[in-house]
Structure 1
Amino acid sequence: MKKKMLTILSFLLIFPLAVSAHTTVKTSNPSEGEEITQELTELFIEFAGEIEDQSTMTLTKETEEQSFDTVTVQGSKLIGTFNRSLTNGSYVLSWKIAAKDGHILTGEIPFTVNLPATEEENTTNKETDTLIDEEAEVPSDTESNQNDKEETTSVNEEQTSPEPETNAKEETNNSSVATISITILILLLIGGAWILFRKRGK
C-alpha cells in the first residue's frame, strides 16, 4: 500500500516537471522586452525540450504581420529568417509548438527595434537640405524673363527718345516754307495791283 502511494506521488511530481519542461522557453533572440539596436535578420526560440516539425511562429509589427522567408525546427529550436533587416518599430513574436508528448503550447515575445540612423541616411539628408537651399537662392525662369523684358523695354525707350526732336525740326521747316510762300504771294499781288493802277492812269 505504501509502495503504491509512493509510486502515485512520484508520478504526480514527475509529470508536472515533464510538462513544464516543454512549456519553458529556455532562451530566445530577441528576448522578451528587449530593444534591438543592430540589424536583425534571424529570430529563434529555444525550448527546454524537443518540439515537433509542425511548430511555427509569426511576427507582427504594430498589428501588421511580417512574413518570414523561412521557418524551421532544429531539435528544440524554432528559427525564423528574413532576407532583409527589420525596421524600427514595436514587434510581437508569437509562437505555437507541438511538444513531443503531444501538447500544443503557445506564447508571445514582445520586443522593439531602434536602429540608429546610418551615415548614408545622414549624408542623403544633408544633400537634400543643400539642394533645397540652392533652389531657394536661384531665381526662377519667370523672374529672369521679367528682368530681361524690363531691360529690353528700357533700351527701346532710349532708342526711340530722339523722335520728338526730329518731329519738331520737320514742323519748323514746314512753317518756314509756308511763311516764305505766303510772303511771295503777297508780293506778287502787290506787284500785280501796282501794274494795273499804272495802266489805268495812262
Structure 2
Amino acid sequence: MSATAFAHSYIGETSPADGETVTEALQEITLNFDGNIEQGSYIDVTSATGTAVDVTTTIGEGQLIGTFAEPLPNESYTVDWSIISEDGHPLEGAYTFTVNAPIEEPVAEEPVTEEIEDVTTDENEATEAPSETANEEEEVTGPSATMLIAVVVGIIALVGGVFFFLRKN
C-alpha cells in the first residue's frame, strides 16, 4: 500500500450517533475522523421538513464540530458532511438523528412567581384590596339616597296624576 492511502481521514464516532434519539437539549454535534482534516470542511444540517438549520462549523484536529445558536427543536435531522483529508482528498457522507427532549415551559412559571412576589413584598396592598372591592360592591348593590328620593317623587306624581284624572270625570 502507498503512504497516501493512509492519509485519508475516515469518519469514526459521531455525537449524536447515526440513528440516535437525543432526549436532552442539543446545541452541538461532533464528528470525529481518524486523521486530520483541512479548512473547507463543513457540516450542513437539515430538518425532516427540509428546513436548513443554521450551524457554525469549527475544525479541530480530526474533528468537525457544528454548533447551533439555540437548542434544536424536537424533530428528525440529517447531517451532511464534507471534509478535505490531510492528503487533499475530499470525502463526504450523511447520517440522521432525532431530538426528542422534554419541552420546558418557563412562561407558565413566571406569572406564578410574580404573584407570590407581589403578595409577599407589599402586605398593605394585599389588605387594602378586599376593602376596595367591598366598597365597590356596596355602591353597585345598594341604592343611593338620590335614587330613593327620585323614586318617591315619581310615585307621588303618579298617584297625584291618577287622582287628578279621576276627580275630573
Displacement of 1:103: 1.7
C-alpha RMSD over aligned residues: 3.5
Displacement of 1:46: 0.7
Distance of aligned partners of 1:90 and 1:159 in 2 relative to their CA distance in 1, 3 Å threshold: farther
Does residue 38 (structure 1) correspond to residue 24 (structure 2)? The answer is yes
Where does the alignment leave 5 or more consecutive residues of structure 1 unmatched?
1-10, 127-147, 176-202
Aligned residues between the structures: 136
Q: 1:82 maps to what in 2?
A: 68
The partner residue of 2:82 within 82, 86, 96 is 96
Q: Name the one with the larger strand percent.
A: 2
Larger RCO (alpha carbons 8 Å, 6+ apart) = 2
Alignment of 1:40-189 (within 5 A): 40-61=26-47, 62-68=49-55, 70-118=56-104, 120=106, 123=109, 160-161=154-155, 163-174=157-168
Q: Distance in 2 between matches of 1:33 and 1:16?
A: 32
Q: Name the one with the larger helix percent.
A: 1
TM-score (norm 1): 0.54
Q: Secondary structure at the match of 2:163?
A: helix
Distance of aligned partners of 1:32 and 1:160 in 2 relative to their CA distance in 1, 3 Å threshold: same
TM-score (norm 2): 0.64
Where does the alignment leave 5 or more consecutive residues of structure 2 unmatched?
113-139
Question: Is the 2:44–2:79 Cα contact (8 Å) retained in structure 1?
Answer: yes
State which structure, 1 or 2, has the greater radius of gyration over its C-alpha atoms.
Answer: 1
